[in-house]
Structures are given as C-alpha cells and as structure tokens.
Amino acid sequence: ASPEETRELESDGTGVGTGTGTVSGSGAALGPSAAPLPPAPAWQPILTAGTVLPAFFIIGLIFIPIGIGIFVTSNNIREYEIDYTGTEPSSPCNKCLNVSWDSTPPCTCTINFTLEHSFESNVFMYYGLSNFYQNHRRYVKSRDDSQLNGDNSSLLNPSKECEPYRTNEDKPIAPCGAIANSMFNDTLELYRIDNDTRTPITLIKKGIAWWTDKNVKFRNPTGDGNNLTALFQGTTKPVNWPKPVYMLDSEPDNNGFINEDFIVWMRTAALPTFRKLYRLIERKDNLQPTLQAGKYSLDIAYNYPVHSFDGRKRMILSTISWMGGKNPFLGIAYITVGSICFFLGVVLLIIHHKYGNRNTSADIPN
C-alpha cells in the first residue's frame, strides 16, 4: 500500500488486530498483536451403533446375492481344455516336443477327446500358453506402432526399439520387434467323429480381434491394397516366421498387418499364463447345440516350440455369458466380502446389546 493508504488505515484503526498481516507505516508486521483466527468449520462423522450396524447389514445383504448370482453364472459356462504340449510319453504330440521354428514339413499330431456335455451357444476356441512372459519390459517395447499403423517411412526404417529384430540381411523386418517375431503359429482343426466318420467343424477366423485394433491401430502400408507383395517390397519377414506378412491369409481384408491372428497376438498379456482367442464356432440351428456331446478330434500342426523354456500349450473350448468367460473369482470375492460384513454386523450387534446399555454418563476427571 502507498504511504497515504497506510496512514489512512492507521487512522481508522483497521490495520491493527485484523490478523491478516497488515503492514504499518514503519513496515513492521503486526503478527504478535493480531487476534487468533476463529476455528474453521469442519464436519466429522460420529460412528455410533445406529449408523455402523445398518451399514454392515446392508453391504452383506447386497453383496451376498450378487456374489451368488455371479458365481452360479460362471459355473454354468461350459469349458473344455486340452493340454497338447506333449511332455508325457503317452501323448500323441510327444513326437513333436522338440520341434524347431523352421521344421519342414511341420510336425502334426491328433488328439481324440469326448465332450460329456453339449455346448449350446456360440463357442470360442482359445489357445493358451504357460510360463511365457509377454509382460517383460523389453519385450513389450519391442515393436514399432507407426510401422504397424501403415506408415511407409517406418516400414523401411523401423524404430530402434525393435532391436535385435529390426533388420535381417540388410533389409528392414516387417513387422519388426520381438513380439511379432514370437507370434504363435500352431494350426488347430476340429472334427466331430460320428460312426468313424470325421466331419470338420467350421472355425471362423474373423471377428476375433478388438474393433479398434482392426480398424484404427493396425493398417497396411498405403498404396494398392490388392497387391500387398508390392507394398511390402524391400522388406523381409521376421526371423522365426515361415512366410512373410503378406502371405498370412488369402483374403485381402485379413492379410498383412490387419491379419486378426497377428493382431490378437500383438496385444500382450499381463500374466505368464494366458489365453488368446483363436477361432469362433457360431451356432447355426437354434434347435441343435453348437457342439453336441460326443467324440471329437483335434488336428494340430505343431509349429510353436515351448519345451525349451518349460512352457505349456493348451486348446480351450468355452462358451460365455453376460459377464464374459468362466471366472469364479469375482463371485467368490463378493460372497466373501458380504459374509464378513454380515458376520461383523452380528458380532457388533451382540456386543452393543450386551454392553451398550451401561451408564456412560459418568463425569470424566479433569
């Protein structure tokens, strides 16, 4: 404030005792003579039996039915799993256990199995891997999203994050990086056996990837979309791939970087044991189950080696519900939390009933 304003405040007496640190004409703070500030208003909950006990009972009565519903729904999902790693000597795939990436021709094996119960609705076929750490930091970063999004300059000059899978024989790798290089490439075919007759089950390979991945994140290089060979000219395939990216599929809308098997693999898993969607089996007749109970066979082109890192491979058939796939954990969690709250409510109610009526109004000594 100016000297005139300061003198005016002093003459009015408003510059003293306000507790706001007003400066006098001499420039000294009036902190010692300032009155203390009044306490700020605050709200503090008072926990009494009348508020705590109903809260425990309400949480228990809400969570327990929800948990039971989720748990029952999860248990109603049909699921069948086959481990075809081949580590057991009696396994039909034991002969393929030590297969290499470039085995020619690929090792094949067939596993026969029986479904005890029919699969009524649409069936989802997954492949599962164990002891495969897709969440490793260097592995997760080993990709070039610009290249995968169809950027032509990144196609011929991949990111250094892709090392050591950036170039091969002085040619840029498309797609580059460790994630793409380790893409799962087993081929699974399903047959129904009826009176010694094998009938192939139609497996749908489209619609297995996220819409945003298929239509936004992954794009083929710009140019003539019907001639992927020319678009990828000047690049080479990943080291472990048996064929280049433009030969992943015969259909143009499922080839190259927009191949859905490739897109599904590129979405890395958070845990070392995971499953990824492989194929769809759609229900065609509402009067007939999608997969009837009976005998089936799984034909496997065993291309993907996992024995060197003690991994395991599985094929899973599963239906889904409104809450997704089979996962009993969420239902168990709801039931557990609800039961604990209900139990605590009962215990606290007994304690309150037994000891709450005692005289608590005695004076507290100073």
DSSP character string of 7-57: HHHHHHTTTSS-SS--B-TT--B-TTTSPPPPPPP-------HHHHHHHHH
Q: Are residues 86 and 202 in the same domain?
A: yes
pLDDT of residue 6: 45
**CA–CA dist 236, 244 (Å, integer):** 7
Which DSSP symbol is given to 153?
A: H
**CA–CA dist 165, 340 (Å, integer):** 52
pLDDT in tens, the chain (366 residues): 544 544 444 444 444 444 444 444 444 444 555 667 777 777 787 878 888 899 999 999 999 999 999 999 999 899 999 999 999 999 999 999 988 877 778 899 999 999 999 998 899 999 999 999 999 999 999 999 999 999 999 999 999 999 999 999 899 999 999 999 999 999 999 999 998 899 999 999 999 999 999 999 999 998 876 789 999 999 999 999 999 999 999 998 999 999 999 999 999 999 999 999 999 999 988 888 999 999 999 999 999 999 999 999 999 999 988 888 888 999 999 999 999 999 999 999 998 888 876 645 544 454
Note down the domain range covering 59: 49-77+324-355
pLDDT of residue 358: 62
What is the SS3 assignment for 77? coil
Query: Quick check: pTM over 0.75?
Result: yes
Residue 360 lies in a domain: no
Q: Are residues 219 and 146 in the same domain?
A: yes
Residue 178 lies in a domain: yes
Which residues are paired to 131 by β-bridges? Answer: none
Q: Are residues 18 and 55 in the same domain?
A: no
Q: Are residues 92 and 173 in the same domain?
A: yes
